[in-house]
A = this chain, B = another copy of it.
């Protein structure tokens, strides 16, 4: 519950940099914030902004409801904070789509990164899905600037590959939408996939095979043989 408390005691008396002063208090704060953020991500992912309740978030986080408001002033502030976190992780995956050598390698890397992200942070993906389904009220700025700029620059790269004859003449947006859709489907529609899989979550092996299948179909589909 209260980690880091004793750890700092063994430090030398000179301030090493990570404070030993307010160490306990700081640890409490960090612990509680993390617990609330994790609970909120889950609850918002299940019910969306409007459907989620601060009472349920508090219950999942195992803190009194008033404590949620002590750390995050309003439901909306909490929601925005989580959206930021999700976007940061999305940007990480986006970075794997770089300018290095082979188109097939780049696309494969990006698809695999997005599949891994769906596997590792399904709640983030679902939260994003809620946000877009609802009409992107909170995040339209972020999409129309950061995400759009990133996407448009990738489209330019892909068009370059096409004119160089490295892949088929395919509208890059259609390709990117297919990658978004398919990779995120494994998070957003995980409940459905689990039912189809005889009520068992996809095993690591099954997921690895799915990932490889997605990569293969898409690469071959656009005329790339990695």
Residues of A within 8 A of B (CB): 45-51, 126, 129-130, 132-136, 140, 143-144, 148, 151, 168, 170-171, 173-175, 177-178, 180-182, 184-186, 188-189, 191-193, 195-196, 199, 209-210, 213-214, 216-223
Contacts and interface: CB of A to CB of B under 8 A. Distances in A.
Nearest to A140: B195
A194 to B, nearest CB: 9
A213 B148 contact: no
Contact of A135 (B46, B144, B178): B46
Copies in the complex: 2
A51 B53 CA distance: 10
B216 A218 contact: no
A135 B222 CA distance: 34
23 contacts: A132-B189, A135-B191, A136-B192, A140-B195, A143-B195, A144-B199, A170-B217, A171-B209, A174-B210, A174-B213, A174-B214, A177-B185, A178-B178, A178-B182, A178-B185, A178-B214, A180-B189, A181-B181, A181-B182, A181-B185, A217-B218, A220-B220, A220-B221
A133 B188 contact: yes
Given A46-B134, A191-B135, A148 B196 contact: yes
A99 to B, nearest CB: 21
Nearest to A189: B132
A166 B219 CA distance: 19
A25 B38 CA distance: 53
A199 B144 CA distance: 9
Contacts of A170: 213, 216-217
